[in-house]
Amino acid sequence: MLQTIQLKTNNLVRRLQQTPAKNRCAIRLCFAFIFLAVSFCANAQPYNPADSAHADPSIPSLTLEQCISYAVQHQPGLNQSRIGLSIAKTTNAINLSGWLPQVNLSGNLVHYNELPSTLITDSAGYVGPPRSQHTGVVNTFIPELSASQTIFNPQLLYAARSAPLYITQAKQIVDSAAISLVSNVSKSFYNLLLTLEQINILKEDTARLDRNVMDTYHQFVGGIVDETDYDEAIITLNNSKAQLKQQIENVVPQYAQLKQFMGYPPDREFNVDFDTTQMIQEIAFDTTEQLQYDKRIEYRQIQNTKKIQHALTGYYGLAFLPTVGAVYNYFYEYENNNSSDLFANSYPYSYFGLTFNFPLFTGFSRIENVHKARLQEDVVNWAEVNLKSQIYLEYTTALANYKGNLYNWKLLQDNMVRAKNVYRIVSLQYKQGIVAYLNMIVAESNLISAETGEVNALFQLLSSKIDLQKAMGDIPSNY
């Protein structure tokens, strides 16, 4: 096809050189039209990822729910928070291990180069200076088996009371990450769909404008319109093609953003699968529902933080209590002056008892720690007040945006229907020579504005619904 057009172009050039000056204007327009057709046909069709699944069945097509399910399993940030939950459980096990018996095995092997001496007196009434005498055995080996059991320890008591709170804290971090992930993936998915829909609209607009260029050319040749109408048609077509190219380029970074939120490998491809009719059916939201703070994960997190801080205050309050424990030690002693006979005889012995440590005075540190912990509780209480104010602001903002976008979308739907009807009528009037091409430009501009405006409003409405659900605490975390 391109070779045929180029052959006609070459013939047109030769005719232009042999044609009188008064007819060259029309032939120049014909040449411009053929050149435009060559450039339009030579360009490949814009890549639409939503349509590529039909060309390459090996590339999977994912719906929004499938994207969310994939992200919940593969997103690095969410998996890191899950590992944090396992770390919290392990940390609790470490902190609580002090309640279990502690058993140790140790030993001492000693060889005296010179035995120690002691001063003794003669018990038979000897009067004089004490005499020096060596005591002990040259070689000794004493293995020791020791066991201890904590009976009461304020620090271990605090670890036992706070352990479930730290598990709850780690679980809430996972839930918070999951909720943010669902929100981000959904909004990124809608943002990508918006661009794809804009591409489809601009493709239709470009094809429509291309037909207008052809019609305008024929009308110009027929003497119905002048040369400016043809130039304006080409200008409008070029503007539409430029917008189409920009939107096609925007698809690449938007896909990259969606892959990042999903944890999808950058070197692998997937297509988005969506049903606009179904999405429109899911727009509805009960705006009369009252805000409940305890449904927000941030509010539940700060309530758990208050419990942890209260437990810490209680721990400092019990720090004056003693530490009590039981001990048992068993010794198996070997002694001999000859190294070769060290293990010939053994002298075992053992004992058990109780130990305690009572902190009588610690430089007022316990009192100051209690005071500090209570001040930290006040900080958490004020943080709760601030959080409730922030949640209410997010709720009112999200609700206002949702209502405004819903109203705007309904109006733009009506505008789109009217703009299509106006364009159809003006197009027929222009072809019949009733109106000027300026009316066509205005009608075309209104149509493309109405179509893109309706699509923008639809996906803004869907995104604002996600924001409202997040503000209300209605986004589930257990996918």
> What is the tens place of the pLDDT at every residue in 100-110?
999 999 999 99
Cβ within 8 Å of residue 390, ≥6 positions away: none
The amino acid at 237: L
Count other Cβ atoms within 10 Å, centred on residue 87. Answer: 11
Which residue has better confidence, 457 or 124?
457
CB-based contacts of 237, cutoff 8 Å, min separation 6: 36, 206, 209, 210, 212, 213
What is the mean pLDDT of the segment spanning 418-439?
87
pLDDT surpasses 50 at 52 = no
The closest alpha carbon to 294, from 208, 214, 387, 191, belongs to 387
CA–CA gap between residue 343 and residue 85 (Å, rounded): 52
Residue 181 to residue 68: CA distance in whole angstroms: 8
Residue 447 has pLDDT above 60, yes or no: yes
- In order of 158, 241, 250, 272, the CA distances from 192 in angstroms are 50, 20, 9, 9
Q: b vs e for 429-449, b when ≥16 Cβ sit within 10 Å of the residue's Cβ?
A: ebbeeebbbebbbebbebbbe
Q: How far apart are CA 305 and CA 299, in angstroms?
A: 10
Position 274 confidence tier, pLDDT thresholds 50, 70, 90: confident
Average pLDDT over residues 11-19: 42
> In which band, very low, low, confident or very high, does the pLDDT at 38 lie, cut at 50, 70 and 90?
very low
CA dist 404 to 162, 214, 350, 462, Å?
A: 46, 42, 83, 12
* Residue 441 binned pLDDT confidence (cut-offs 50, 70, 90): confident
Name the H helices within 122-275. Answer: 154-221, 227-262
Percentage of the chain exceeding pLDDT 70: 86
Q: Please compute the mean of the pLDDT values over residues 16-30 and round it to a whole number.
A: 43
pLDDT for 340-395, tens place per residue? 888 988 999 999 999 999 988 888 888 999 999 999 999 999 999 999 999 999 99
Rounded to an integer, the average pLDDT of 457-461 is 94
> What is the pLDDT confidence band of residue 220, given thresholds at 50, 70 and 90?
confident
Question: pLDDT tens across 301-324, in order?
Answer: 999 999 999 999 999 998 889 999
Residue pointed to by tokens 């209690």: 370
Q: What angle do CA 105, 111, 112 make, to 5 degrees?
A: 135
Whether pLDDT at 137 is above 80: yes
Pick the CATH number of 46-101+152-321+362-472 from 1.20.1600.10, 1.10.760.10, 3.10.28.10, 3.40.50.10740: 1.20.1600.10
Contact 291, 472 (CB under 8 A): yes
pLDDT for the residue numbered 129: 74
User: Reduced to 3 states, what is the DSSP secondary structure of residue 215?
Assistant: helix
Residue 217: the pLDDT is 79
Instruction: Name the residue with higher pLDDT: 125 or 160.
Output: 160
pLDDT at 301: 97
What 8-state DSSP symbol labels residue 338? S
Element (H, E) at 357: strand 346-357
Taking the C-alpha atoms of residue 284 and residue 409, their distance in angstroms, rounded to an integer, is 13
Q: Average pLDDT, stretch 186-199?
A: 93
- pLDDT above 60: residue 404: yes
pLDDT at 476 over 70: yes
Which of the two residues, 458 and 208, has the higher pLDDT score?
458
- For 477, the token pair is 């975390």
Q: What is the pLDDT of residue 8?
A: 38
What pLDDT is stored for residue 40 in this prediction?
41
- Report the distance separating Cα 217 and Cα 428, nearest Å: 16
Return the closest-CA partner of residue 426 out of 153, 43, 418: 418
Stated as kind and residue range, the H or E segment containing 350 is: strand 346-357
Task: Summarize the confidence of residues 114-137 as an average pLDDT.
Answer: 74
> Angle at which helices 297-317 and 154-221 pack, to 10 degrees?
160
Tens digits of residue pLDDT in 160-185 = 999 999 999 999 999 999 999 999 99
Is the pLDDT at 13 greater than 60, yes or no? no
Average pLDDT of the residues of the chain: 85
Q: Say whether pLDDT at 186 is over 90.
A: yes
What CA–CA distance (Å, rounded) separates 420 from 447?
6
Task: Report pLDDT for 232.
Answer: 83
pLDDT at 1: 38
Instruction: Give the confidence band of 127 by pLDDT, cuts at 50, 70, 90.
Output: low
The Cα 84–Cα 15 span in angstroms is: 79
* Mean predicted confidence (pLDDT) in 143-153: 95
